[in-house]
Structure 1
Amino acid sequence: MADGTPAAPARLVATGLSKRYGAVQALADVDFDLQPGEVVALLGENGAGKSTLVKVLSGLVTPDTGTITMDGEAVNISSSARSQAAGIAVVQQEYSTVGALSVAENLVLGKANSPFLWTRGRLRSEAQALLGEVGLGHIDPSTKVEELSVAEMQLLEVARVLAREARVVIFDEPTAALSDAETEKVLAVVRGLAAKGISIVYVTHRLPEVFAIADRVSIFRNGRSLPSVAIGDIDVAGIIQMMLGRTLETMYPERKPVAGDERLVLREVVISGLSAPVSLSARRGEILGLTGQLGSGADLVVKALASETPILGGVVEVDGSPLKAKDRSKGLADGITYCSPDRKRSGIFAGLSIVRNLSSSWLSSVATAGTVSTRRERTAAEALASAFAIDSKRLGSSVGKLSGGNQQKVALAKWLGNNPTLFLVEEPTRGVDVGARSDIYAKLRGLCEQGMTVVVSSSDTNEIHGLCDTIATFYHGEMVGVGPADDWTEDALVAAVMNRSEK
């Protein structure tokens, strides 16, 4: 430095990291650095290498080659315990808390250098201090974690990291399941941590969040790291081009006038969990979007149509006939299919091949006397894979080995073999990169152009505004607005789901 004081070393430097799994080069000579108090957004398509880098830094994966230093000193983080001891902590996308234990007990669970015996008073005192730092000061530390909301559980994950006194915190898609208002709480915590000098690695597919909190972006493509870029020197289009290696002309397909007859009609429908009846309609060839914050009730409408949630009263008609489906199998027979928001728990069979996943809902149609024709099954599966841009050469691979984006494509595509007329979809692109999002949006629009009706429930207001023809908004269990997409601005849509006037 000009005054002769040596520059402080980087908080973390990873040099020449490589990792191969058989024929797959997950990381190839990757470089990554992080300064004290800096927020670096780690971006890339699903399968680009981000998750592998996170696993290396958290001690879950040992690289084949490469070195890592922390504050100028070489570190060995070949296990999760060593990673934690080095000052690295991870806020996981999937919660690591134990639901049956209290909030206070979860905060010290797995913490290194904890006392052998905790007194109830000390446990409560430390928990209250940590909860206050992440905006959960209103939570009683004795509350069971299973009683918390989704957003509260995510913030609890952050509090657990604070309990470990980390120097580097990795946020792995922390807002994937959160609404806009809940996301802002997490971003505020990230800003606060950085202000205290803690270094942040922020992994996300939500680009607006990147511009809200990041100092730099580090983009991965095909297992390689590209030179990082200061956030002020790049825009959304530039990020997408670096991620994909090409320009993306538009995220959402063009909306066209919908002139089809009414396919779905709800008249004063009373749904378990909603505080007021719902009246809606959707035409052939239309995408109807339902949106609101988590817990608003938008998802309950889709679940009710899919026979996942009880309909207590009112009239539901599909193509002019009363809906009589009492379970999923009856709905499937009537041309109604439903894609769950949780692909890992109820959308895919991770241990089975892509072919068997794609055929899982229509396997009987390619079977005779209980014997499956593998030739007919594969032919039909290849057609579905092609429709969703899934590599047909990998049809024999386990779905669990695919990237999140390709897993979501499989979860959606498998239902199309039933030739549905009404396709119900919750959170269609949760945890999916921009390239896969664009593919999914294009396919949903293409299905509508073939005469299908699609009902989408999503807490992502940008997605609903860009994709849908008609939009209904929900707040605290009640539908508070409905109208053509062209009548909504994105600001008005956000205001509606937060129950405030547009400013």
Structure 2
Amino acid sequence: MLRMTNISKRYGATEVLREVALEVRSGEVMALMGENGAGKSTLVKILAGIEPADAGTIEIAGEPVTIRSPRHSQAAGVAYVAQELSIVESLSVAENVFLGDTDAGLFRSPRSLSTKARPFLLKVGLEQVDPLELAENLSVAERQLVEIARLLSRKARIAILDEPTAALSDAEILRVKGAVRTLADNGCAVIYVTHRMAEVFELSTRVTVLRNGRSFPSIETASLTVDTLIEHMLGRKLEQMFPARATRMGESVVELDQCIGHGLLAPISLSVRRGEILALAGQVGSGANAVLRMLAGVLPVASGTMKLRGAAFAPHSIADSIAAKVAYCSDDRKRDGIFAVRSVPENLSAPALDRVSRLQMISPVMESRHTRGIAELFGIDLAYLTRLAGNLSGGNQQKVALGKWLGIEPDVLLVEEPTRGVDVGARAEIYRHLRSLAERGLTVIFASSDTQEVLGLADQIATFYHGRMVRVVSAESSTPESIVRDVIHPTLAA
């Protein structure tokens, strides 16, 4: 169905793709794998008409095609679900499903569009969502599923899904997997970009690996193991994914006593020590993220008390939490994490302008020293310091979104989904750096729907289900089965 040959692309002096080849058959799911910055997103953007190729050819169903714009791509039968959400918040869910679809007609009533959208929403498990609801009222996970519904509505010959499950819970991931299988069963050629290894082995027929802008011959998924796939991606063996847990911790730094707020249906009590990493495990809407947002000052505490370093703590805004040396990294990278149209150094120095300024003027020397230090700490290629943050790969944007908060030298770091959209090699780096920071005395609290991440990184785990905290346990005494049971169907009375 699809053959891309000798695709090359440069951004200035940086060669992003070099003579890349990709071939996908009708009815198969081709996993496109590689580290962050390997060129995966650039390659699919060329096919989607978002970026022009400098060289190379594209054939669809045996016919050469020229793709210069998203409209050309769509006319050729290509549908694209981007890594970063393209939902228009001021439009209804139904309008977003048919956004950009010229076949939807110029004159259409909201009711007729709602009726047309509902079958596609049902296919991705959004039967509870009113098609006339404004998209701004949806969660990040629901917005991602609306993107998948849009793809289904276009009856594409080729479907590109770039990290479609990065923002989703386990239950929602099952819906997306079902939609992907339906696409392939209907004869669609599916290009599936992901960092979740389990999805590769569950969904794909073959795997194409990109490394440093070059492609390698596709491999039958059945012939691979997780370890061999990682070696193909990295060009080397991966060292241990998770660092050793803390051997000692200090005094209590963060305390919550019978706290309740928006997203929580029952009060919770927690205590986190200096040098400890606490995981808040739960699916989207479980209440885990609400705890971080109360501590960050994003959500008010309706009742109960919070303490920071033994003193009463009641931030009314993120500015209040920053002043108290509490840093918060949101799960919505596009909206809260980065300034896409500003440079990487500007992003890395934004929370700590007082540390890179003299007499209220930014010092280029101080800013350069500050940002290079953070870049080296989080494995951000120094060559990226000349780029706009929005032009980085999704994984490198996540590193910037997380790393920038180290500039305020926080005592507490709050992180939602710390490695969403980050490749396996970069994950290991981030885990190692977070543990290193904890060993220096930083208290880390993160919310995650990734069971492996929760078990591997945390010292203590608090599990959440439907707005209630189920229990707090040590990571060493937990198993994947016990965590999944807690966050999917716990016995709350136990």
Picking from 373, 383, 400, the partner of 1:410 is 400
Label 1:212 to 1:422 Cα distance change in 2 as closer, same or farther (>3 A).
same
Label 1:133 to 1:306 Cα distance change in 2 as closer, same or farther (>3 A).
closer
Query: Partners of 1:37 and 1:306 in 2: how far apart?
Result: 46
More divergent stretch after superposition (412-421 vs 396-405):
396-405
Contact 1:112 1:164 in 2 (8 A): no
Q: Paired residue for 1:172?
A: 162
Q: Paired residue for 1:7?
A: none
Amino acid at match of 1:463: E
Label 1:417 to 1:121 Cα distance change in 2 as closer, same or farther (>3 A).
closer
Label 1:196 to 1:420 Cα distance change in 2 as closer, same or farther (>3 A).
same
Q: Paired residue for 1:84?
A: 74
Give the alignment of 1:213-292 within 5 angstroms: 213-292=203-282
Contact 2:110 2:132 in 1 (8 A): no
Larger Rg: 1
Give the Å deviation of 1:471. Answer: 0.4
Give the alignment of 1:46-445 within 5 angstroms: 46-118=36-108, 123-137=113-127, 139-392=129-382, 394-445=384-435
Contact 2:281 2:487 in 1 (8 A): yes
Give the Å deviation of 1:297. Answer: 1.0
- RMSD value, Cα: 2.3
Label 1:195 to 1:420 Cα distance change in 2 as closer, same or farther (>3 A).
same
Amino acid at match of 2:422: V
User: Equivalent residue of 1:362, what SS?
Assistant: helix
Amino acid at match of 1:402: L
Give the Å deviation of 1:383. Answer: 2.5
Picking from 453, 469, 478, the partner of 1:488 is 478
Give the Å deviation of 1:456. Answer: 0.8
User: CA deviation digits over 1:413-461, x for unaligned, max 9?
Assistant: 2222322211111111111111221111111000011111111112222
More divergent stretch after superposition (120-129 vs 275-284):
120-129
Query: Partners of 1:204 and 1:501 in 2: how far apart?
Result: 33
Label 1:283 to 1:20 Cα distance change in 2 as closer, same or farther (>3 A).
same
Query: Partners of 1:328 and 1:149 in 2: how far apart?
Result: 21
More divergent stretch after superposition (28-37 vs 493-502):
493-502
More divergent stretch after superposition (362-371 vs 41-50):
362-371
Aligned length: 492
Label 1:321 to 1:28 Cα distance change in 2 as closer, same or farther (>3 A).
same
| Percent identity over paired residues | 49
User: CA deviation digits over 1:182-234, x for unaligned, max 9?
Assistant: 11110011112211211111111111111111111111111111111111111
Give the Å deviation of 1:13. Answer: 1.1
Give the Å deviation of 1:324. Answer: 4.3
Contact 1:258 1:283 in 2 (8 A): no
**5+ residue gaps in structure 1?**
1-10
Query: Partners of 1:59 and 1:366 in 2: how far apart?
Result: 40
1:43 and 2:33 correspond:
yes
Query: Partners of 2:420 and 2:99 in 1: how far apart?
Result: 29
With structure 1 as the length reference, what TM-score do the two structures score?
A: 0.91
**5+ residue gaps in structure 2?**
none
Label 1:73 to 1:306 Cα distance change in 2 as closer, same or farther (>3 A).
same
Query: Partners of 1:447 and 1:290 in 2: how far apart?
Result: 19
